Structure formats: structure tokens, C-alpha cells
Amino acid sequence: MLVRLMYASRAVPEVNQEELVAIVRKSKANNPAVGVTGVLCFSEGIFLQVLEGGRGPVNALYNRIAADPRHSQVELLAYEEIGERRFAGWSMGQVNLARLNPGLLLKYSETAALDPFSVSGQVSMALFEELMATASIVGQA
């Protein structure tokens, strides 16, 4: 039983590049053992993350992440049972913001800023799919 979960949250002001690196490092260390894969996007204080894997491990990880003091306003955007993973290649991939084309953001939202709180979960997932298609996700498992 595989599921895909996506949420958005707002980082606390203390989260900087160093903290982001620590989060990704911890994710890459922990996720393979529980069979979780996914992608984390961080832009202008907003996290957008997709987690895929077994229902139990994904639910447990989401609960742990939601309680993390490094972010707040954790909002579940999508949760579905899936037949196959879309992000199987990443224990926790990262969106390479340097390669993020503003036109891609404009395609899906009113401004060229990442704001998953103001668009549907479907739109944020479509953005992730395009990021994958345009090789904008880095950090192979």
C-alpha cells in the first residue's frame, strides 16, 4: 500500500541555508530505512514537500515533521493512495532554485513566487512534475 502526501509550511525565521542542508542530510539518512522517497522545495521561507512510501511510514514521518519547531502552519495539500511512485529516484531530492524558471511558476500561479497556500494541491503537484521533467530536482538518492 503506497501513498503520496504533499504539504506546505512556513519556516521559522531562524531557518537558513545551513539549517536547510541539515534537514536534507537528516532526510537522506533516515528515509531509505523506512522506504520513503520524495522532494523538498524551499523558497522565500516556504517549504513544499512530497513524501511517498508505505502508508504507515509516510504517516509517521509526516506527524514527526509536522511537530518540528523549525516550521509552522503545516498544511496538508494532498494525500492519495498510489499504484506507483513518481519520485522514486530521490530519498529526498531538492529543487535547484537556481534552475527554477520564473516562467514555470507563472504558468501555475498569479506571480512568479512559490505560494502553495494560494493554489490548489493539484497545481503544486503539477509544478513538481514539471520540475522533475525539466531536471530541476537535484540530490539523487
Cell readout for 58 is 509516510
- Work out whether 6 is an interface residue with ligand FAD (CB under 6 A): no
Among 25, 26, 55, 99, binds ligand FAD (CB under 6 A): 26
Residue 91 beta carbon to ligand FAD: minimum distance, rounded to whole angstroms:
8
Number of helices (H), then strands (E), belonging to the chain: the values are 4, 6
Of residues 27, 4, 2, the one with CA closest to residue 94: 27
Residue with cell 530536482: 137
Beta pairing partners, 79: 5
- Work out whether 23 is an interface residue with ligand FAD (CB under 6 A): yes
How many Å apart are CA 135 and CA 16, to the nearest integer? 24
Number of residues that bind ligand FAD (CB under 6 A): 16
- Work out whether 68 is an interface residue with ligand FAD (CB under 6 A): yes
Distances (CA, A) of 116 to 33, 79, 107: 29, 15, 14
Query: By CB under 6 A, which span of 27-35, 52-60, 76-84, 98-106 interacts with ligand FAD?
Result: 27-35
Residue 138 beta carbon to ligand FAD: minimum distance, rounded to whole angstroms:
15
Residue 103 beta carbon to ligand FAD: minimum distance, rounded to whole angstroms:
26
Half-sphere exposure of residue 135, counting CA atoms within 13 Å on the CB side? 0
- Work out whether 27 is an interface residue with ligand FAD (CB under 6 A): yes
- Work out whether 31 is an interface residue with ligand FAD (CB under 6 A): yes
Q: Which residues bind ligand FAD (CB under 6 A)?
A: 23, 26-27, 30-31, 40, 47, 49, 61, 64-65, 68-71, 92
